[in-house]
């Protein structure tokens, strides 16, 4: 007789493992299946965590080289890339093991192997040795995440033509790297390698980087990255990539039809990710997908098959770890008879470059498109005393508020610790706060958060320090 569970989660990423823990907390007998061999999904193994580790280490390397300008004299600074990679790998191992501990602590049964549907209530798990285990499930949650997209006809070899996975483990610092796509991955990984000494060229299809982001921020962001030495080739379409022995030639065409070839030792293709439904056998049970091959769900994350749900990167919405986690919690609560809910208007997005870029809610472009009257408050970090004190004063905070009610509709930040500062605005928006509410809240001095307060004051044209 096969084991029977009240809930089975397929995928142990931030969506899946969080969902499994919440289900178990709510008293359901729960299992979580993961095929990777370690928990934490894309995020912990080959995404958020290793990339943030390398962003931090490369930034430290870069900063320490410039300390003599600030009166700190040190000897020659040398890069030890294998040691840096070990430090990154250690962070990954500690965190993935930590998730395994959390599953155990919450009495979630962890199956190592690839899950697929035999029927709507029966799941097959194939381990590395192809042994099959069958389990029964009242409810199933699909949390199988996403995979990198390449360009038509171009395969990743993860050495010369790489996705983010290859770019997280180069064995030596590339001399030159072409980054196809100026989005989250291209700019974060481009920053890492540029700081470690690579000549980085970003080839972007559009006339601006980070599409979907507030235009003013995106323009400022590109200006700052250019100053840091990253080269941009905008409105360039990649026509083909030819792989040579240990390099590649990227052939592009610009908006006027002019052709240009770039030769480099590595090419990072970062043009987006696609939902991963490989091997799940969804056709067999008739699960509907949408036009982008994402699992189709209703507002309660339920698919067209009533006992099967889906969350995270494999469904619609931004491909972000915290979005997947919040959906995991919401679906678990719905399954347990509670009212789980995700507010998609207040999901922050952060790019962990230097400076950081963070945004939440509506952009100016979206407000204009929807004919919503709004007021803008802006404050530059140049006028923030903490930022000036530590000589880290690039960027600004922009708050958008409804012209009639003053309710905060969105905020866009570029500057030091922007990824932390955005949380304050998230809470304000969740509570339906006005910009005046933020402006009247006492912020400690001297902190970067005072720039948020001043931007809120500036909505009503009464910033003090500008
Ligand atoms: P995943 O994390 O992809 O997890 C799905 C898991 O399911 C995988 O481990 C996979 O092995 C497993 N699986 C798939 N099929 C099966 C099967 N049949 N049986 C068993 N297991 C299966 N997001 C952020 O919010 N912040 C960041 O800083 C950030 N940085 C990123 C950096 C990079 C380089 C990348 C690539 C992504 C980054 N992301 C970041 C995005 C983030 O990683 C994803 O949004 C997040 O991991 C999605 O979570 P998920 O649980 O839906 O899917
Ligand atoms: P992206 O969607 O962020 O950016 C893709 C970029 O490639 C866009 O600027 C797009 O215009 C461009 N592009 C598309 N086709 C092109 C082509 N043929 N030639 C040139 N440019 C082209 O995608 P990504 O950077 O691959 O990242 C995937 C997802 O992973 C992100 O959208 C995000 O959800 C997630 N992620 C998040 C973080 C974070 O939260 N800090 C970090 C990394 C990844």
The ligand placed nearest to the CA atom of residue 241 is: 2
Q: Across all residues in the chain, what is the average pLDDT?
A: 97
pLDDT of 336 reads 98
Flag whether pLDDT at 426 surpasses 80.
yes
pLDDT confidence tier of residue 2, bands split at 50, 70 and 90: confident
Q: Which of 20, 144, 330 is the pocket-test mutation for ligand 1 (most atoms within 8 Å of CB)?
A: 144
Closest by CA to 395, choosing from 234, 225, 231, 233, is: 225
Q: How confident is the model at residue 48 (pLDDT cuts 50, 70, 90)?
A: very high
pLDDT band at 208 (very low <50, low <70, confident <90, very high): very high
Ligand 2 atom with least separation from CA of 351: 41
Predicted pLDDT of residue 245: 87
pLDDT tens-digit readout, 238-260: 999 999 989 999 999 999 999 99
d(CA 182, CA 215): 14
Cβ neighbours for 294, distance < 8 A, ≥ 6 positions apart: 275, 314, 315, 316
Q: How far apart are alpha carbons 357 and 350 in whole angstroms?
A: 6
The yes or no reply on domain 3-148+274-342 and CATH 3.50.50.60 is yes
Confidence of residue 466 (pLDDT cuts 50, 70, 90): very high
Q: Please write the tens of the pLDDT for every residue from 373-384.
A: 999 999 999 999
| Domains 3-148+274-342 and 161-271 are alike in CATH topology | yes
Rounded CA gap, 195 and 186, in Å? Answer: 14
Domain ranges within the chain, ordered by starting residue:
3-148+274-342, 161-271, 346-459
Looking at residue 50, its pLDDT comes to 98
In this prediction, residue 212 carries a pLDDT of 96
Answer yes or no: 62 catalytic.
no
pLDDT per position as a tens digit, 139-186: 999 999 999 999 999 999 999 999 999 999 999 999 999 999 999 999
Using pLDDT thresholds of 50, 70 and 90, give the confidence band for residue 430: very high
Quote the ligand 2 centre to 162 CA distance (angstroms): 14
Instruction: Give the number of whichever ligand sits closest to the CA of residue 123.
Output: 1
**CATH, range 346-459:** 3.30.390.30
Atom index in ligand 2 nearest the CA of residue 273 equals: 28
Confidence at residue 311, expressed as pLDDT on a 0 to 100 scale: 99
Does residue 319 have its Cβ closer than 6 Å to ligand 1?
A: yes
Candidate of 145, 170, 329, 420 to mutate for ligand 1, largest count of ligand atoms within 8 Å of Cβ: 145
**186 CB less than 6 Å from ligand 2?**
yes
Report d(CA 43, CA 17) in Å as an integer: 12
- Ligand 1 in contact with 54 (CB < 6 A)? no
Whether residue 12 has its Cβ less than 6 Å from ligand 1: yes
Give the ligand with the smallest distance to the CA of 48.
Answer: 1
Task: Provide the pLDDT for residue 219.
Answer: 98
Evaluate if residue 399 carries a pLDDT over 80: yes
Q: Is 283 exposed, middle or buried (0-12, 13-18, 19+ CB in 10 A)?
A: exposed
Does 13 score more than 90 pLDDT? yes
Is pLDDT above 90 for 322? yes
pLDDT at 221: 98
Q: Tell which CATH architecture fits domain 161-271.
A: 3-Layer(bba) Sandwich (3.50)
List the catalytic residue out of 201, 233, 445, 465. 445
CB count in 10 Å sphere of residue 387: 24
What is residue 241's predicted lDDT score, i.e. its pLDDT? 97
């Amino acid at each position: 007789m096969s084991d029977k569970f009240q809930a089975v989660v397929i995928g142990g990423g931030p969506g899946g493992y969080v969902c499994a823990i919440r289900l178990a907390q709510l008293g359901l007998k729960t299992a979580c299946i993961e095929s990777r061999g370690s928990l934490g999904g894309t995020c912990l193994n080959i995404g958020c965590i290793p990339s943030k580790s390398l962003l931090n280490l490369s930034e430290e390397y870069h900063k320490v080289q410039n300390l003599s300008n600030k009166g700190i004299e040190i000897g020659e600074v040398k890069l030890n890339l294998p040691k840096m990679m070990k430090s990154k790998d250690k962070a990954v191992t500690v965190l993935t093991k930590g998730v395994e501990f959390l599953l155990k602590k919450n009495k979630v049964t962890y199956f190592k192997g690839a899950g697929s549907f035999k029927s709507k209530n029966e799941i097959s798990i194939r381990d590395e040795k192809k042994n099959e285990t069958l389990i029964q499930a009242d409810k199933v949650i699909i949390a199988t995440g996403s995979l990198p997209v390449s360009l038509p006809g171009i395969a990743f070899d993860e050495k010369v033509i790489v996705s983010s996975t290859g770019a997280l483990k180069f064995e030596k610092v590339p001399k030159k790297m072409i980054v196809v796509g100026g989005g989250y991955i291209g700019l974060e990984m481009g920053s890492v390698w540029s700081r470690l000494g690579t000549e980085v060229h970003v080839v972007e299809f559009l006339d601006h980087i980070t599409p979907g982001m507030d235009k003013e921020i995106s323009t400022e962001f590109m200006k700052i990255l250019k100053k840091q030495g990253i080269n941009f080739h905008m409105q360039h379409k990649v026509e083909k990539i030819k792989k040579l022995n240990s390099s590649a030639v990227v052939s592009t065409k610009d908006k006027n039809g002019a052709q240009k070839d770039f030769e480099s030792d590595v090419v990072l293709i970062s043009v987006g990710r696609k939902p991963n439904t490989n091997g799940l056998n969804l056709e067999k049970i008739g699960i509907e997908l949408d036009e982008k091959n994402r699992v189709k769900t209703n507002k309660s994350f339920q698919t067209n098959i009533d006992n099967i749900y889906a969350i995270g990167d494999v469904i619609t919405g931004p491909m972000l770890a915290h979005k997947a986690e919040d959906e995991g919690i919401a679906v678990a609560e719905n399954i347990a008879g509670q009212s789980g809910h995700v507010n998609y208007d207040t999901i922050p997005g952060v790019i962990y470059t230097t400076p950081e870029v963070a945004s939440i809610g509506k952009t100016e472009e979206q407000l204009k498109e929807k004919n919503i009257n709004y007021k803008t408050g802006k404050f530059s970090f140049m006028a923030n005393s903490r930022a000036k004190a530590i000589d880290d004063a690039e960027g600004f905070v922009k708050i958008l508020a409804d012209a009639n009610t003053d309710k905060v509709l969105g905020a866009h930040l570029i500057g030091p610790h922007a990824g932390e500062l955005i949380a304050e605005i998230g809470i304000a928006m969740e509570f339906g706060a006005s910009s005046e509410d933020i402006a009247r809240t006492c912020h400690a001095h001297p902190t970067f958060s005072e720039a948020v307060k001043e931007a809120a004051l500036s909505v009503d044209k009464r910033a003090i320090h500008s």
